[in-house]
Amino acid sequence: MTSLSIYRAVFAGLAIPVLTAIAQADSLSKSAPAPKAYASECASCHIAFPPGLMTAGDWATTLKELPRHFGTDASVTPAELAEISTYLRSNAATSEDRYGSTAKPPRMTKSAWFERKHVRKLPANVWTDPKVKTASNCMACHLQADKGSYSERDISVPGYPGRHW
């Protein structure tokens, strides 16, 4: 093998996984497993939202305001709070421009990223479909969101079965 063909072989084998990892790093972290408290305390009313879709600052605000959480009390014990906080903040999005919440209290459904990937992409009537109700209802379209999958093959938008986006 010439050095060029070795280079090509290595490049072909490595470049795709490396680039994919870089592309995903800022949106969905698959690296750190969530602590038990995140599933037990933060996935009873809605799914365990992916940490990589909000910034560390926005997660900190969310956690500070848990006793007044969207009209409910979502308080956790200090020990759970510490665990959840470490997990969310260390797996958070780093781009304020893309993922910073444009609403208070913070929402991952209110960011430049969500606007571009969802609001502008999908027909407006989707958001008022009774099966969707709210943009936070990830499971309405991401059939495996509770298992952490947002991949194309697990998407089915109510009213648009089989359509690719």
132 closest CA partner among 119, 148, 147, 120: 119
- Non-local CB neighbours of 18 within 8 Å, separated by 6+ positions: none
> Is residue 83 involved in binding ligand HEC (CB under 6 A)?
no
The single residue among 46, 89, 96, 143 that binds ligand HEC, judged by CB under 6 A, is: 46
Closest-CA residue to 145 (of 15, 50, 51, 58): 50
60, two tokens = 């900190």
Task: Between 3 and 68, name the residue whose CB sits nearer to ligand HEC.
Answer: 68
Q: Which residue has the tokens 């008022």?
A: 128
| Closer of 13 and 123 to ligand HEC (Cβ) | 123
- Tell the smallest beta-carbon distance from residue 62 to ligand HEC (Å): 5
Q: With contact defined as beta carbons under 8 Å apart, do 55 and 93 qualify?
A: yes
Which residues contribute to the site for ligand HEC (CB under 6 A)?
A: 27-28, 41-42, 44-46, 49-50, 53, 62, 66, 69-70, 72, 74, 76, 84, 107-109, 117-118, 121-122, 126, 132, 134-138, 140-142, 150, 155, 157, 165
